């Protein structure tokens, strides 16, 4: 039987840990970053992925995360040097046009809101910052400093359609935020508690009504949104939707799970684990999707020689997955549906 997850290409330009990678919204390009303080831009040339540019003058320490804006015109990078750089993509050239300062130490993650209104960043300093994006991304004003977490914040992501922000932390919790329509203040609306150790990453499904989280406690958790006056009778305090953990996937991972990606095209879930493996999960067909969903392990593959740090599904090409590792490699994978 052919492998369900097959390596398409191995890319080896980085030195040291490759912490993160991010697809361009076109699916034809991606950026990677890591310990070597560089950002590398890769694009597809016929069938091969080739390095197009190295951006090496943006940061003085490890670059922890990169993210393309949804319009595809900008790239944000965050670093242990406590800054965020915004790169303008002009044709195939990238130019650093703004550096955002304010965090007290390492910036761990960055995310652009789908609406294009906001940028979010989070840091070891326990805070999440929301930045208001001015016209043409020329100005970034701090719209909020959210201090809801009690520890190091590892990850920020935005809802796939709305300006709802979610963060994950070393304090074992996940928090959600929105802008209060009355006074434009950002408020924490939900705290999702169930993990027993650091929550490393989170990912929405395509509807935005479900969220998956991965943790240092070696489990994945699926969270379901329950609206006000839901038919299940789930209590919704403060007239805000409630999020409940409806599924815990334990016993599948042997070490910390550093990243999780829920494919918006196929519904497949990929995880990056400290045991060097990539795993793919699929929702079971007979699953009661809303209240008690069940998921099964589709495949598991020894993907890298060291910890896998990041997995991301391509936003356009179904089944194309990228992974990055401590072993300096980036790998592209193709998921073949079982016949």
Q: Based on CB atoms, which residue is closest to another protein, 124 or 312?
A: 124
CB closer to another protein, 36 vs 179: 36
Among 14, 24, 40, 108, binds another protein (CB under 8 A): 108
Binding mask 206-235 for another protein (x = CB under 8 A): ----------x-------------------
Please select the residue that binds another protein; options are 124, 126, 225, 312, rule is CB under 8 A.
124
Extract the tokens encoding 88.
């303008």
CB nearer to another protein: give 155 or 210: 155
Q: Which of positions 290-329 make contact with another protein (CB under 8 A)?
A: 305-307, 326-327
Tell the residue number behind the tokens 């969220």, with chain if given.
211
CA dihedral 142, 214, 305, 40 (to 10 degrees): -20
Cβ proximity of 70 and 114 under 8 Å = yes
**Residue 125 touching another protein (CB under 8 A):** no
* CB-nearer residue toward another protein: 113 or 324: 324
| Distance between CA atoms of residues 53 and 336, nearest Å | 31
x/- mask, another protein, residues 51-90, rule CB under 8 A, reads: ----------xx-x---------------x----------
Checking DSSP bridges between strand 269-273 and strand 257-262, what pairing results, if any? antiparallel
- Of 159 and 304, nearer to another protein (C-beta) is 304
Please state the closest distance from residue 61 (CB atom) to another protein, in A: 5
Number of other residues whose CB lies within 10 A of the CB of residue 145:
13
Which of 254, 261, 249, 248 is closest to 302 using CA atoms? 254
Question: Between residues 22 and 190, which has the closer beta carbon with respect to another protein?
Answer: 22
Residue 31 C-alpha from the chain's centroid: 14
- CB 278 → another protein: shortest distance, Å? 17
Q: Measured between alpha carbons, how far is 169 from 305 in angstroms, rounded to an integer?
A: 27
Minimum Å gap between C-beta 306 and another protein is: 6
Neighbours of 303 (CB within 10 A): 23
The nearer residue to another protein, 108 or 282, going by C-beta atoms, is 108
Q: Looking at 15, 255, 289, 338, which residue binds another protein (CB under 8 A)?
A: 255
197 binds another protein (CB under 8 A): yes
Which residue in 101, 99, 69 sits closest to 86, CA to CA? 99
Cβ-based neighbours of 251, under 8 Å, separated by 6 or more = none
Contact string 11-50 vs another protein (x = CB under 8 A)? ------x-----------------x---------------
Token readout for 191 is: 């705290």
DSSP assignment of 80-100, as one string? TTS-EEEEEEETTEEEEEEEE
Rg (C-alpha) for the chain, rounded Å, is: 19
Q: How far apart are CA 148 and CA 126, in angstroms?
A: 8
Q: Minimum distance from CB of 245 to another protein (Å)?
A: 21
The interface region with another protein, picked from 3-11, 101-109, 239-247, 329-337 by CB under 8 A, is 101-109
**155 near another protein, rule: CB under 8 A:** no
Taking the least distance from each CB to another protein, the nearer of 98 and 309 is: 309
Q: How many CB atoms lie within 10 A of CB 305?
A: 11
Q: Which is nearer to another protein, 196 or 248 (CB)?
A: 196
d(CA 86, CA 96): 6
Q: Which residues bind another protein (CB under 8 A)?
A: 17, 35, 61-62, 64, 80, 105-106, 108, 124, 152, 154, 170, 197-198, 216, 255-256, 274-275, 305-307, 326-327
């Amino acid at each position: 039987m052919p492998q369900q997850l097959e390596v398409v290409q191995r890319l080896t330009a980085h030195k040291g840990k490759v912490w993160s990678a991010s697809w361009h919204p076109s699916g034809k390009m991606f950026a990677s970053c890591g310990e070597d303080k560089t950002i590398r831009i890769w694009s597809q040339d016929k069938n091969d992925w080739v390095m197009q540019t190295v951006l090496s003058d943006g940061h003085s320490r490890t670059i922890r995360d990169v993210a393309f804006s949804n319009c595809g015109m900008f790239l944000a990078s965050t670093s242990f040097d406590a800054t965020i750089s915004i790169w303008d993509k002009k044709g195939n050239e990238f130019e650093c046009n703004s550096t955002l300062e304010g965090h007290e130490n390492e910036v761990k993650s960055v995310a652009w809101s789908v609406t294009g209104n906001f940028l979010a960043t989070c840091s070891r300093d326990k805070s999440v910052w929301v930045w208001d994006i001015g016209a043409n991304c020329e100005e970034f004003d701090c719209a909020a400093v959210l201090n809801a977490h009690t520890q190091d914040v590892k990850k920020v992501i935005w809802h796939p359609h709305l300006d709802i922000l979610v963060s994950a932390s070393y304090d074992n919790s996940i928090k959600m935020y929105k802008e209060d329509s009355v006074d434009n203040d950002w408020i924490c609306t939900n705290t999702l508690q169930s993990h027993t150790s650091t929550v490393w990453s989170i990912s929405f499904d395509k509807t935005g009504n479900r969220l998956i989280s991965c943790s240092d406690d070696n489990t994945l958790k699926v969270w379901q949104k329950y609206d006000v006056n839901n038919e299940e009778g789930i209590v919704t305090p403060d007239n805000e939707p409630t999020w409940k953990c409806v599924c815990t996937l334990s016993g599948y991972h042997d070490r910390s799970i550093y990243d999780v990606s829920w494919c918006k095209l196929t519904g497949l879930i990929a995880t990056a684990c400290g045991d060097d493996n990539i795993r793919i999960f699929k929702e079971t067909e007979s699953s009661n999707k809303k209240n008690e969903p069940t998921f099964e392990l589709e495949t598991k593959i020894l993907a890298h020689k060291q910890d896998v740090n990041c997995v991301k599904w391509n936003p356009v090409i179904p089944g194309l997955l990228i992974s990055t590792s401590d072993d300096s490699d980036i790998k592209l994978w193709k998921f073949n549906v079982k016949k």
